[in-house]
Amino acid sequence: MLKINSVTKQFGGIKAVDDLSFRVKKGHIHSIIGPNGAGKTTLVNMITGVYKVDHGTIFLDGADITNITTDKLVYRGICRTFQNLEICENLTVLENVLLGFDKYMDKSIIKSCFRAKSILEDEKRHKDRALHLLSLIGLEKIANQKAENLSYGILKKLEIIRALGTSPELILLDEPVAGLNPKETAEVADLIKTVVADEVTIVLVEHDMKMVMQISDYITVINFGKKLAQGTPEEIVNNKDVIRAYLGSGVVC
């Protein structure tokens, strides 16, 4: 579904991502792991058009999507979440989720100014859908609370739910459990496995080995911007290069 074709990104003299290629299969949870600074987030930023790709191409279902910006990619069916939480704290929980439906909404200024019926009905319909999404993570009761009052763990889940609003075909999760406690981590893993993976192909960038090994269908390991190994979780756990370069001994749970 997603094909990364020998992409390179250079910052000054350092190649953050160096001639990297891999494919993501439809319906998979495809994890990308690697030590700190291996180029994982750079890779996500290249796929989502935040960084310009120096060399190489990226294809989605055969269409070239190299260097298309994040907002336009949403209309192509790609959505992402962020390593450092990006939630609008000035909005309520519900409004944050509604934002996910933005691409389906009529935002005509004239109609909005005069409170046109079509706009109100549109809003109502999407509110129901947003509440449904919130109910999946048990947040429908606090839908009208300001996001700034909620815990980090809840907001991390909220971000994933918001991304689902755009009805993506492919979702890129950049460290969805970074900074969460084991209980919250398990909840997010459950959310990804049961809700998201049902409908959406997932590219998961993550440090939490336990979670990656549990939920991934396929793993690509990168180090210093290059591909070190790829395979199923079992293959990766037993790969000598990976153990030497990254996992060390005794880390794999």
Partner 1 sequence: MFMGYAGQVSLGHGAFAGLGGYIAVILSSNYELSPLFSIFISVITMAILAFIISKPILRLKGHYLAMATLGVGVIISIFLNAEDELTGGSDGMSVDSFSIFGYEFTDNLQWYILCAVLLVFTIWMFTNLVDSPFGRVLKSIQGSEKAANSVGINVSHYKSIVFVISVVIATISGSLYAFFSGFISPAEASFSHSIELVVMVVLGGLGRIYGAIIGAVILTILPQLLTSFEDYQTLIYGAIIIFIMIFMPKGIASLFNDMKRRLLAKDK
Q: Name the residues that contact partner 1, by CB under 8 A.
A: 48, 69-72, 74-75, 79-82, 86-91, 95-96, 98-100, 102-103, 105-109, 112-115, 119, 122-123, 159, 162-163, 165-166
**Which H helix or E strand runs over 153?**
helix 152-165
Which residue, 63 or 109, has its beta carbon nearer to partner 1?
109
Phi/psi at 227 (5° precision): -75, 130
Question: Rounded to the nearest whole angstrom, what is the least distance from the CB of residue 14 to partner 1 in the complex?
Answer: 24
Tokens (6 digits) for 78: 């790609």
- Helices H, strands E: what count in the chain? 11, 10
Question: Rounded to the nearest whole angstrom, what is the least distance from the CB of residue 70 to partner 1 in the complex?
Answer: 5
Q: Among 180, 179, 158, 160, which residue's Cα sits nearest to residue 171?
A: 160
- For residue 28, CA distances in Å to 35, 192, 200, 224 come to 23, 12, 8, 25
Q: Among 208, 172, 214, which residue's Cα sits nearest to residue 193?
A: 214
Question: Rounded to the nearest whole angstrom, what is the least distance from the CB of residue 46 to partner 1 in the complex?
Answer: 15
Which residue, 22 or 82, has its beta carbon nearer to partner 1?
82
Which residue, 11 or 104, has its beta carbon nearer to partner 1?
104
Residue type, 206: E
Which residue, 159 or 187, has its beta carbon nearer to partner 1?
159
Question: Rounded to the nearest whole angstrom, what is the least distance from the CB of residue 196 to partner 1 in the complex?
Answer: 15
| 61 vs 77: CA distance, rounded Å | 11
Question: Rounded to the nearest whole angstrom, what is the least distance from the CB of residue 143 to partner 1 in the complex?
Answer: 14
Which residue, 69 or 135, has its beta carbon nearer to partner 1?
69
Q: Are 180 and 150 in contact (CB under 8 A)?
A: no
